[in-house]
Amino acid sequence: MSPEPDTDTEADTGTGTTGTGTGTGTAAAPLLRIVGLVKRFGGFRALDGLSFHLKPGEILGLVGPNGSGKTTCINVISGLYRPDGGQILLDGRAIGGLPSHRLVHLGINRTFQVPKPFMTLTVRENVEVAAAYGRRRPGKTDIEALLHSLELDSHAKRPASELNSVQQKMLDLARALATAPRILLVDELAAGLNPAELERVGERLKALAAQNIALVVVEHLMGFIDQVTDRVIVCNAGRGIFAGPLSAAIRDRQVVEVFLGAEDDGGAA
C-alpha cells in the first residue's frame, strides 16, 4: 500500500484534473487495475473490454445508461461472476475468478443494490459474522462504533428483518465495512434515500476515502456522483467511453450522445 497521504490527491482532483484520466500524475500507485474486462451472458456482451484503474483514497464513479455494464462490472470484481476475458489486478496480482470470500480477505468488498442482510440474525450478529470471517488480518473491528456511525446502534439487538429498506442498506454497508476493506464497491446506495440521508451518506463515503479506502460508486443520481466522486468512467455497451471528472464528462460530445434523454433525469435529481 502506498504510504502517501491521500488528502493531497483529493485536493488535486478537486480542483479539476485536465486530460482524460489516463495519467493523473499523482504519487499514489493504482491499487486495482481493470484491463479489457469481458463478461458474456449467452451472446450478450455485458462487459466488452472495460478498462480502468483505482487508487487508494480515490472515489471513482461508474456512470452510464441502464445495461451499460456498471453493475456487471462490480459483480465480476467482487467474484459473483467469473470474467470471460481481460484481467483484474490487485497490487499487480491477478484476482479474476477468485471466489467472493477470498476477495473479501484480499480487501475487496461491496454493497448491494438490493441488500439481502441475514434477516433472522440480529443487526449486531450481521456485523459480527462479517467481522469474524471477513478480516484479511487479525484485528478488532469496533462494532459499536461502526453501528453508531451508521445510526444502527439503537437497533443492534433487533433482527435485521425489522429494519426498513434504508436501514437495511446501511446494515449492508456496515457488513462490508466490518471486513476492513481496502476497496469498496458501492452499487446504487443512494436510490431511495431522502436529501438529508443522501447528504450524510455522501459525507460518510468521503470520510471512508479519507481513511485511504478506494471506492467505486455506481449511481444514477448525478447530483450524488457530483458530490462524492473525484473522477468518473462513463460506460456504454460494456466499454468505457470517457474517463475524467464529471464536469468534463458532461461537455464530452460522445457522452452527451449516450446520455441524451437521461441527462435531464440526472439534473432533476
Partner 1 sequence: MPKALRHVLFTLVPVVVAFALLPSVYSNQLLLFNFVIYLALTQGFNIIYGFTGYLPFGYVGFFGAGAYGFALAVMHLHFPPLAALGVGAVAAVLLGLVLTPLLRLSGAYFAIANLAASQAVFLIVSNPNLTAITKGPYGISLSGVFSPGFTYGVAVAILAATLGLVIYLRNSRFGLALQAIREDAISAGMAGINVVLSRTIAWLLSALVAGLVGGVFAWYISVFYPETVFDLGVSIFAIVFALFGGTATILGPILGVIILYGIYNVIGISTPQYFQLIYGVLIVGLVLFLPEGLVSIFKRRGIDVP
Partner 2 sequence: MIEYTLLAGLLFGLYFSLVGLGLNLIFGVMRIVNLAHGDFLMLGAFFAYWLFHLLGPNPLISLFLAFLLFALIAYPLYFLLVPRLLSARDPEMLSIILFFGLSQVLEALAVIGFGTSERSLPGQLLGHGPVQILGQNFPAAWATSGIASALAVVFVYFYLYRTRLGYLTRAVMVHHEEAVSTGINVHRVSAIAFGIGLALAAVAGVFAPFMLGSITPAMGIDITITSFAVIVVGSLGNPLGTVLGGIIYGISLMMMQTYLSSWANLLPYLLLIGILLVRPSGLLGRQVRRA
CB atoms within 10 A of CB 135: 18
Q: Which ranges of the chain does DSSP label H, i.e. alpha helix?
A: 7-14, 70-77, 100-105, 123-134, 143-149, 165-177, 195-210, 222-228, 246-249, 253-259, 262-268
For residue 133, give the amino acid letter: Y
52/81 with CB nearer partner 1? 81
The answer to whether residue 80 forms part of the interface with partner 2 (CB under 8 A) is yes
Instruction: Tell which one of 1, 119, 210, 260 touches partner 2 (CB under 8 A).
Output: 119
d(CA 177, CA 196) in angstroms, rounded, equals: 22
Interface residues for partner 1 in 155-184 (CB under 8 A)?
172, 175-176, 178-179
Q: Is residue 62 within 8 Å of 217, Cβ to Cβ?
A: yes
- Written as nine digits, the cell of 5 is 497521504
**Could you tell me the smallest distance in angstroms from the CB atom of residue 105 to partner 1?**
6
- Considering only 70-78, 85-93, 138-146, 208-216, which stretch makes contact with partner 2 by CB under 8 A? 70-78
Could you say which of partner 1, partner 2, none residue 118 binds, taking C-beta under 5 to 8 angstroms by partner kind?
Answer: partner 1
6/172 with CB nearer partner 2? 172
The answer to whether residue 116 forms part of the interface with partner 2 (CB under 8 A) is yes
Interface residues for partner 1 in 52-111 (CB under 8 A)?
78-80, 99-101, 104-105, 109-110
Angle of the 123-134 helix axis to the 165-177 helix axis, nearest 10 = 20
**Could you tell me the smallest distance in angstroms from the CB atom of residue 70 to partner 2?**
11
Angle at 59 between CA 202 and CA 109, to 5 degrees: 90
Interface residues for partner 1 in 117-146 (CB under 8 A)?
117-121, 125-126, 128-130, 132-135
198/218 with CB nearer partner 1? 218
Of 248, 242, 198, 263, which Cα lies nearest the Cα of 224?
Answer: 198
What residues does 40 pair with on adjacent strands? 45
Instruction: Tell which one of 9, 13, 75, 141 touches partner 2 (CB under 8 A).
Output: 75
176/221 with CB nearer partner 1? 176
The answer to whether residue 179 forms part of the interface with partner 2 (CB under 8 A) is no
Could you say which of partner 1, partner 2, none residue 99 binds, taking C-beta under 5 to 8 angstroms by partner kind?
Answer: partner 1
For the chain, the 3-state helix, strand and coil shares in percent, each to the nearest 5, are 40, 25, 40
What do you get for the CA distance between the two ends of the chain, in Å?
A: 37
Binding stretches for partner 2 (CB under 8 A): 71, 74-75, 80, 112-114, 116, 119, 187
Q: What residues make contact with partner 1 under the rule CB under 8 A?
A: 78-80, 99-101, 104-105, 109-110, 112, 115-121, 125-126, 128-130, 132-135, 172, 175-176, 178-179
